[in-house]
Every structure is written in structure tokens, then in C-alpha cells.
Structure 1
Amino acid sequence: MAEGEDNVEFYLRYYVGHKGKFGHEFLEFEFRPDGKLRYANNSNYKNDTMIRKEVFLTPAVIKECRRIVADSEATADFKFDRIFIIRVWYGGILLGVFYGADNEGR
């Protein structure tokens, strides 16, 4: 991460899921620019219900998440203001990463 990026807004959303025998099952988490982490896990296996949690993270944790994404080079072939989708055999994976304030499409 370059210097001066600490004040730039950061948004990350990760989703993986599929529709199968037990309906629409998925795991999703989202890091929002205001520091909120949102988590959802839906599985109908044995009639489970959806789990939803929200917490606020410290700026240090958000900074570490940004560093992990930057170091992973997961977005190396894409502009940071784009969403890219990787499809798998029976479902989908979505990773969206935004840097900066111009994130109207999220």
C-alpha cells in the first residue's frame, strides 16, 4: 500500500454461494468505508436459519485488511474501481474491491 492511502475510502465485498439441494446457500461479508463489517451465512441444511452479524472495526483493522488485499494481488489485473466475478461449476464467487470515494456502482 502506498503512502497517503490511509485516508482513501475502502470497500470490499466477498460472496460465495450456490443454489442446490438445500436452496440458496451462501457466505457473504462486506467491509464498508464507515468501518462496519457485515456478515451473512445462509444454509438450509437441517432447517438452519440465516445468520447475520454486524460489527464496527477499528481503523487499524481496516488498514490491515487493505494491506492483505494489496499484498495478495487479487486485483492486480483489474482497476480498483471495477467488480470482477469468477464463476465456479455450480455457483458463483464475487469479489468487489473499491478504493476512493467514486464508488457509486456498489
Structure 2
Amino acid sequence: MKVVVQVANDPEKGVNSVINLLREMDVGEVEVVFHQDAINAVLDPSLVGRLHPAKVVACRNSLRARGIDESTLPRGTVVVDAGVAEIVRRQAEGWIYLRV
């Protein structure tokens, strides 16, 4: 099972939901895409660290809109050009979509 999670608004609730998912289900891969108002969350290494082993993805468009330099992101954070496009790609590949 592969799950792509969209976090656009409340990062704390989103992170908690992903943690609950990881605890309760044996999922093969989880990718958490941060964009829009939630993009600042990727700057917090402790918050991002709580998502392990999920892959943390940041939207480059959202980073640019808020003047965030990609080099300031925690190690392991993956940057994609557009968060929404990443979500659509994953859905097209058969990933389960979850918006939190």
C-alpha cells in the first residue's frame, strides 16, 4: 500500500494524522506533501523528524512564495516544483490519497 498525504493548512494536525496512520497500519510507503499555508512546517526539524519513515516533500512554489531558501530545509526533505502536481502524479500511479 502506498499513501500520499496532502498537508495544506494545519501542519500539526496533519503530522499527528500521519503518525496515527503509521502506528495503526502497515503501509508500504507514505509521502507527506507540504504546501500552501503549511509549508513553514518543513523548516522545523523536530516536526519533520516525527514523520519518519514517511518521505517529506516540500512544494517549491510555496517555498518561493514565502521567500524560503531550499538550503534551510532539514536533511532528507525532498523538493518538488508543484505540490499539487506531485499529489496528482501519485494518484495516477495508484497511491491512496489522504488530505489532512
Greater gyration radius: 1
* TM-score category (smaller protein): under 0.3
Q: Which has the higher contact order (CA 8 A, sep 6+)?
A: 2
TM-score by length of 2: 0.26
TM-score by length of 1: 0.25
Q: Whose helix proportion is higher, 1 or 2?
A: 2
